[in-house]
Amino acid sequence: MKLHPTKLQGVYLIVVAPLADARGNFARTFCVETLRRAGAAFGPVRQMSISVNDRKATLRGLHWQAGPRPEAKIVRPVRGRIFDVALDLRPASPSFKQWFGVELNAAHQNALLIPQGCAHGFVTLQDDCAIEYVMDADFDPALARGARWDDPAFAIAWPLLPAMIGERDRVWPDFVG
């Protein structure tokens, strides 16, 4: 696996290099040493989750976990394609309130590493998507935070308008910070 830095400090696009033969392929999708060498802040793994989304244009996010137990996450579609967004909400960061978006595709086996202090969201680009999350902190509902997907403070250029949004994600207040 290879880590490609993005315009947001600590956010990496993870690209795998599958070894292919007549049986199919095999690829390393997670490697602590590769993350360490790149200076990526992640680990140890504490939880894994999966998000299954039946319909194209389903939006989830933007979510993060606040201190004292913030979380970093690695997000990878295991079925389908998504437009994945990391949003920098670290006030001391040079990219504060900036976002990075990328298409993640299960066929390409690519992923995005979102560090602590950054929000995450995605919109499905096709029906029948499943997205795997690997997190370095236990989920704590009391620390769960969110920002509205269309908040003008961020001006995220989503590739399509969401058709399905959970009520909680629809009504987050305008970001103040």
Residue from 4, 108, 120, 133 carrying the catalytic annotation:
133
User: Residues 157, 160, 163, CA angle at the centre, nearest 5°?
Assistant: 125
Residue from 4, 12, 63, 120 carrying the catalytic annotation:
63
Q: How far out from the chain centre does Cα 97 lie?
A: 16
Residue 55 DSSP SS3: coil
12 carries an active-site annotation: no
For residues 155 and 85, the answer to whether their CB atoms sit within 8 Å is no
Q: Measure the CA–CA gap between 107 and 122, rounded to whole angstroms.
A: 17
* Residues classed as catalytic: 63, 133
